[in-house]
Chain A
Amino acid sequence: MISSILVYGLVNSVILALIAIGFSLTFGISGVANFAYGGFYLLSGYLTWILLKYLGLPFIVAVFITIGAVGLLGFLIYWVILLRVRGIVLSEVIATFALGVGMLEFFRWKGFVTYEFTLPYFKKGMLLIADVPVDYQRLFIIAIGLALVLFLYIFTHHTRIGWSFRGIAQNERTAISLGIESDWTAALSLAFGSAMAAVAAISILPLGIISINMGYDVLLIAVAVGIVGGLESVPGILVASLILGYAQIITSMYISAEWMMVVYLAAIVLVLTIKPSGLFGKFKELEERV
Chain B
Amino acid sequence: MDKTEDQTILKVEDIGKSFGGLLAVDKVSFHVQKGELLGVIGPNGSGKTTLVNLVTGFVRPDSGRVIFQGLDITGKMPYRIAELGMARTFQMVKPFYHLPAFKNIIIPLYSPRVKKLRGGKYGERDAVAIDLLEEVGFERDSFVPYKVASSLPHGYLKRLELARCLALRSDLLILDELFSGMSMSEVASTLPIIERLNGEGLSIIMVEHRLKELFRVASRVIALNFGRKIAEGSPHEVMESEAVKAAYLGSEAEG
Residues of A in contact with B (beta carbons under 8 Å apart) = 287, 289-290
Contacts and interface: CB of A to CB of B under 8 A. Distances in A.
Nearest to B49: A290
A90 to B, nearest CB: 14
Interface in B53-93: 53, 58-59, 90, 92
Contacts of B92: 289-290
Interface string B15-53: 000000000000000000000000000000000010001
Contacts of B90: 290
Contacts of A290: 49, 53, 58-59, 90, 92
Nearest to B60: A287
A273 B176 CA distance: 34
B243 to A, nearest CB: 27
8 contacts: A287-B59, A289-B92, A290-B49, A290-B53, A290-B58, A290-B59, A290-B90, A290-B92
A289 B90 CA distance: 11
Nearest to A286: B60
Contacts of B53: 290
Contacts of A287: 59
A49 B49 CA distance: 57
Nearest to B176: A290
Nearest to A282: B20
User: Lowest 4 A-B CB distances belong to which pairs?
Assistant: A290-B58, A290-B53, A290-B59, A290-B90
B15 to A, nearest CB: 16
Nearest to B56: A290
A35 B182 CA distance: 43
Contacts of A289: 92
A275 to B, nearest CB: 15
A154 B224 CA distance: 40
Contacts of B59: 287, 290
Contacts of B58: 290
A251 to B, nearest CB: 37
Nearest to B53: A290
Given A289-B92, A290-B53, A290-B59, 5 more contacts: A287-B59, A290-B49, A290-B58, A290-B90, A290-B92
Nearest to B94: A290
Contacts of B49: 290
Nearest to B20: A282
Nearest to B78: A290
